[in-house]
Structure 1
Amino acid sequence: MVELQVHLPAARSPGRDPRLGGGQVGALDDGRVRFEVDDSGPGVPEDRRTRIFDRFARDGVSGGRGGRGVGLGLAIVAQHVRWHGGTVTVLDRPGGGARFVVDLPVVRSSSAALGLP
């Protein structure tokens, strides 16, 4: 994988330790692009890793928002990724927390098809 480091805005917030979260983007050899987003929260237990992508699933797993939210964010991500022919998974983040991985196929299109000059 060819890696390109991308630091998400939250990781650059004043006073925030950049080791607590962040992400990277890379091109895989099989024609996919991978986005990895690290979260420094409590992580996601293995038995909940598929359910957290369901609508309204909260499963008692709370992040840095104190358990607020209705459980739609990850469901929306998963739906959009599927619409584009990709996959989204959650893994353990080295050092603790969760790592969310989105793999998308690279689709080549002409600039004319995109309405560009």
Structure 2
Amino acid sequence: MNLAYWIVAGLLALFYLYAGTLKVIRSRDELRPMMAWVDRMPLPAVRALGGVEILGATGLILPPLTGTAPWLASAAAIGFVLLQAGAIAVHLTGEDRRVTLNAGLTAAAAVTVWLATQW
């Protein structure tokens, strides 16, 4: 179980670290080709979402790695499940109805929650 957690959580953390960093440092015009929904959100909200993703990615890795407050890994994974539920809602209410990636990320985060509670 421990190896499975590190594989799934590591991949999830890499994805969210990358996506969050893009949201924090890139302009709306640079984000638009990848994320059509950014035009419907205020830029500070997009930046805050990026910061939350970076913090969540950190929460998946650092607590289990250091052994300090390992429950934070479960909390971060639950946060990603909720984040993706919101992302699916945003996609479905807009013109971009592609939610396959969001569904996959939701499933990966749910598996991470389960794996984090097994050790």
Same fold (TM over 0.5): no
**TM-score category by the smaller chain?**
0.3 to 0.5
TM-score by length of 2: 0.34
Using CA pairs below 8 Å that are at least 6 residues apart, which structure has the higher relative contact order?
2
More strand by percentage: 1
Structure whose CA Rg is larger = 1
Structure number with the higher helix fraction is: 2
